[in-house]
Amino acid sequence: MSEGSTPAAPNPLACDFCGRSAAEAGPMIEGKALQAIAPGSAIAHICNQCVDVCEGIFQQHERAKVQVDKLPTPRELVAHLDDYIIGQENVKKTLAVAVVNHYKRVLGGEITDPDLQDVEVAKSNVLLIGPTGCGKTALAQTLARRLHVPFAIGDATTLTEAGYVGEDVENLILKLVMAADYDIAAAEKGIIYIDEIDKIGKTSQNVSITRDVSGEGVQQALLKLLEGTTANVPPQGGRKHPEQQYLQVNTTDILFICGGTFVGLEEIIGKRLGRKLIGFGRGEVKDREVERNELVAQVTPEDLERYGMIPELIGRLPIIATLDQLSVADLERILNEPKDALTKQYRVLFHVDGAKLEFTGAAIHEIAKLAKARGTGARALRSIMENLMLEVMYELPEREAGQTYTITDAIVRKEERLFEPSSKA
């Protein structure tokens, strides 16, 4: 600096937290300065990016507070599940008790009895057994939503042993971390639902000389995750390699809920009980379903072992809950009663276009019968409804507002291609 020159005045509009200028960071928030933040200044500034960081910190704190202060009772959890899931009453109770006990263990509490202070509560993961479309995934999702914890879904059929084409089991943890916005502490108290767990049973009947990389090997790889370990998770997913940086996630407090259809399990149970099953083509469908529900409800760990699950994995899934086949009556209730029922969703869409939508009882029954015939449970309802409503949804925005449209069983059966407004709104 030359003699007699005046030093440049510092830019007063710079963030006192990160140092970025107003030109870099944009508008600033001004406030009375604390000397610890802005020494020698009466005014402090903070930029919008630092405000976002602070907001994220407060949100993380609020999530933790919700988990600690507002753990619902099992009865409250079941009441919440009743709003979204039809039937499966016994499973709801089993899940509610298991989840509440899990978070009691995770969150802890003051133990005043000296005889109990050194007692460690074991981790209780859950296995759900039930036919496709009966609500296994929906139950887990709804629980996680109510508890305000991160939730992730993985498919066991995509998993392979480390080193083979496919996904490592640690990718399940990565999905949970991503669902928690990379908040590791929140992810470590989340819930993971692993679907199609029955598809990784041991293939003992397989006489191939190739390695069973997606069967027993995956079960072995899942053991440590379910029990509790520090998993090294590649932050961008994919396969691991030596030079990659990993996220370290402790799975001890993550609740794992596994689900599977276990097709043919009822035969294994029936054989153990000495019961001869109603054969294909014999007896009413309803009778066969009742028999299947009764048998699967009596499942034991030994039955699962005969099915192809290794004993160590079964031991880490101590809570087993079985779901029933959905009847036509159940499917009718699913169409109408839940808070997010399909008929209610379509009524909202019609309301946006200034119209009203109604379904006759016969129409609901016809839709439920069609879904039942497809054999995929509640999953069939949406595709049937989408197909049914396609034509009118296409034309609705161009029709006169204020009309009421009524879906009848004849329309469901395609006996009427288009339907006219039944009355003025």
Query: Residue ranges for the binding site for Zn(2+)?
Result: 15, 18, 47, 50
Neighbours of 226 (CB within 10 A): 23
Amino acid of residue 31: G
Write the DSSP symbol of residue 415: S
For residue 233, give the 3-state DSSP assignment: strand
What distance in Å separates the CA atoms of residue 295 and residue 91, rounded to the nearest whole number? 16
What distance in Å separates the CA atoms of residue 287 and residue 401, rounded to the nearest whole number? 48
> Please, are residues 78 and 93 in contact by the beta-carbon 8 Å criterion?
yes
Binding residues: 15, 18, 47, 50
Query: Residue 321 pairs with which residues in a beta bridge?
Result: 128
Query: Residue 260 pairs with which residues in a beta bridge?
Result: 129
Q: Where are the beta strands (DSSP E) in 49-133?
A: 126-129
Order of strands across the sheet that contains 356-359: 356-359, 403-407, 423-424
> Please, are residues 177 and 233 in contact by the beta-carbon 8 Å criterion?
yes
What distance in Å separates the CA atoms of residue 326 and residue 263, rounded to the nearest whole number? 16
Query: In the chain, what are the helix, strand and coil shares in percent, each to the nearest 5?
Result: 45, 15, 40
Tokens 């909202």 locate to: 348
Write the DSSP symbol of residue 10: P
> Any idea of the CA torsion for 236, 242, 243, 247, to the nearest 10 degrees?
40
Write the DSSP symbol of residue 279: P
Length of the chain: 425
Phi, psi of 52 (to 5 degrees): -60, -40
What distance in Å separates the CA atoms of residue 316 and residue 256, rounded to the nearest whole number? 10
What distance in Å separates the CA atoms of residue 16 and residue 64, rounded to the nearest whole number? 29
